[in-house]
Amino acid sequence: MTTDNLTTADLPTLQRDLCARTGRGLNAIVAGEILWTLFAAAGAVVADDFILALVYLFGAGLLFPFSLLVAKVLRLDPYAKENPLGTLAGVLGSVQILFIPLMWGAAFAVPHMVPWFLAVLVGAHLLPYAWLYRSRAYVFASVALPVAAGAVGWLLPQWVRFAAPGAVVILLIVTALLLVRENRAASA
């Protein structure tokens, strides 16, 4: 679709175009899988809870640049600048920045729970993408991630450093597979 056509397109057309250009944000989900795998590994080797919390906080900042690299490998257009909804996708992704003070407070108050808190935040922030991308995969992720992370945090607090990131990785893999299926169905 040309840029001129996009400026006058209706919402469903804009959403379909955004999905086609961005792969429904698959790059961010794949980057998240890799990042959370590294978090799980850090949980196995970093003994100090505060240091591990810092690994999470600074590591989370790597998601966006890493997702751009993954987008390049997957040949996706992560910005979709020609589509007005591309800006909305960026704003939705950046809303997590507002939670930085909360995460730093958690790191100082209850550093051993930072993996749980971050996992809940990641899952909760995915809900608007369900509407934006017309995607059931994001509905799944936005519910499953906070529920799984919450269950780990409440039921297995002594294992949160391993179990929370492990659960996130598994659920992000399922989400990515669902997104691939949605993308294939849309292009068929």
| Residue 16, both tokens | 């379909």
**Mean pLDDT over the full length of the chain:** 94
Domain count, the chain: 1
pTM confidence score:
0.93
Rg over alpha carbons for the chain, rounded to the nearest Å, is 17
Burial of 182 (0-12, 13-18, 19+ CB in 10 A): buried
Residue 9 binned pLDDT confidence (cut-offs 50, 70, 90): confident
pLDDT in tens, 40-73: 999 999 999 999 999 999 999 999 999 999 999 9
Instruction: Determine which helix (DSSP H) or strand (DSSP E) holds 37, and give its type and residue range.
Output: helix 26-45
- Look up the domain containing 130 and give its range: 3-187
Query: Which percentage of the chain shows pLDDT scores above 90?
Result: 91
Q: Model confidence over 15-39: pLDDT tens digits?
A: 999 999 999 999 999 999 999 999 9
Sequence letter at residue 174: V
Is 122:93 a contact under the CB 8 Å cutoff? no
Q: Give the pLDDT score at 80.
A: 95
State the pLDDT confidence band at 188, using cuts at 50, 70 and 90. confident
Query: Which one has a higher pLDDT value, 129 or 4?
Result: 129
